[in-house]
Amino acid sequence: MNTKLLEQIGLTEGETKVYLALIKLGETKTGPLAKEAEVSSSKVYKILDRLIKKGLAGHVIKGKIKYFCAVPPKRILEYMDKKEEELKEKKQQLMKLIPQLEQQENSKNQPKAIIYEGFKAFTGYFRTIPDQLNPGENYYVIGANYGQDYPGAREFFHNYHRERVRKKIRVKMLANHEVKGIIEEATYKNADIKYLPQYFTNNMQITFFNDKVLFTIWESTPIALLINSKEAVKSFKSYFDTLWKIAKK
């Protein structure tokens, strides 16, 4: 049983242990519960209080003794529904806050270069590209590839391009020769794609738009270097146009 899933939806490790122990024991006093859950007696009351507030536990009193029990497991879905509503509300509040933060952002003091180390860091920035462009605008890619099928890369780009298309952003792409015929289907929409000759194949991808150039090197730990430079974009656009002429559909 994947008990980590309970932690992923918002329960702490201690709450998970106590809830599972309640499921197993049924109505129980805190002594046997603490032993079964492998938590200290001093902590079990605090954990139970949090579970009760989350609607996942309750208690009854028999002969002046308090017994605790878990709510039916299906109630976990109600807990998730409540969390989703809270997240929606926080997202709406954040959407109102972002424009205020952007107004305070000091663009003059932005660094000329930023390194994103690791797949999550790279994809975290890459997701923001459509947000930095207006509907109908292009960004450009040289050497598009999946890092020799780096774990999670295909899934990421599939979801990314679906979102890109939804936001009506176009991409003009020079893909590596080895991905011809196996590109994720969502990539083709709102896109112009050609393939570089085989001798151009490497594990580096260059993405550029506006005043930004993103170099991505697909290693065991992907590394991306972002450069803020209009001159760099101008140079790579010239390079792109030259390669576009020799690339094949």
- pLDDT tens digits for range 136-183: 999 999 999 998 889 999 999 999 999 999 999 999 999 999 999 999
| Sequence-distant (≥ 6) Cβ neighbours of residue 30 within 8 angstroms | 41, 44, 45, 48, 66, 68
Q: 224 near 115, Cβ under 8 Å?
A: yes
Look at phi and psi of residue 67 and say left if phi exceeds 0, alpha if psi is from -120 to 50, else beta: beta
Q: 19 near 11, Cβ under 8 Å?
A: yes
Nearest to 17 by CA among 55, 53, 58, 56: 56
Predicted pLDDT at 75? 82
Q: Is residue 140 part of a domain?
A: yes
Q: Would the pLDDT of 78 be above 70?
A: yes
Percent of the chain with pLDDT over 70: 96
What are 57's strand-pairing partners? 70
> By CB neighbour count within 10 A (0-12 exposed, 13-18 middle, 19+ buried), where does 223 fall?
middle
Instruction: Please give the residue that has the higher pLDDT: either 13 or 103.
Output: 13
Nearest to 208 by CA among 127, 131, 133, 141: 141
Place of tokens 């009854």: 60
CATH code for the domain of 182? 3.30.870.10
Q: Phi/psi at 13 (nearest 5 deg)?
A: -60, -45
> DSSP class of residue 27?
S
Q: Are residues 170 and 230 located together in one domain of the fold?
A: yes
Q: Is residue 106 part of a domain?
A: no
| pTM of the entire predicted model | 0.61
Q: Are residues 66 and 118 located together in one domain of the fold?
A: no
Nearest to 74 by CA among 55, 46, 51: 55
Instruction: Please give the residue that has the higher pLDDT: either 2 or 61.
Output: 61
The CA–CA distances, whole Å, from 75 to 5, 51, 54, 89, 173 equal: 15, 12, 10, 22, 48
Domain, as residue range, for 206: 111-246
DSSP H/E element including 25? helix 13-25
Count the alpha carbons within 13 Å of 198 in the hemisphere toward its beta carbon.
Answer: 1
Q: Are residues 40 and 156 located together in one domain of the fold?
A: no
**Mean pLDDT, rounded, of the chain:** 90
Number of compact structural domains in the chain: 2
In tens, the pLDDT along 21-68 reads 999 998 999 999 999 999 998 899 999 999 999 888 998 888 888 899
Q: Would the pLDDT of 196 be above 60?
A: yes
Among 49, 70, 91, the domain-final residue is 70
In tens, the pLDDT along 86-141 reads 888 888 888 888 777 767 655 555 668 899 999 999 999 999 999 999 999 999 99
β-pair type (138-144, 57-62): unpaired
Predicted pLDDT at 39? 92
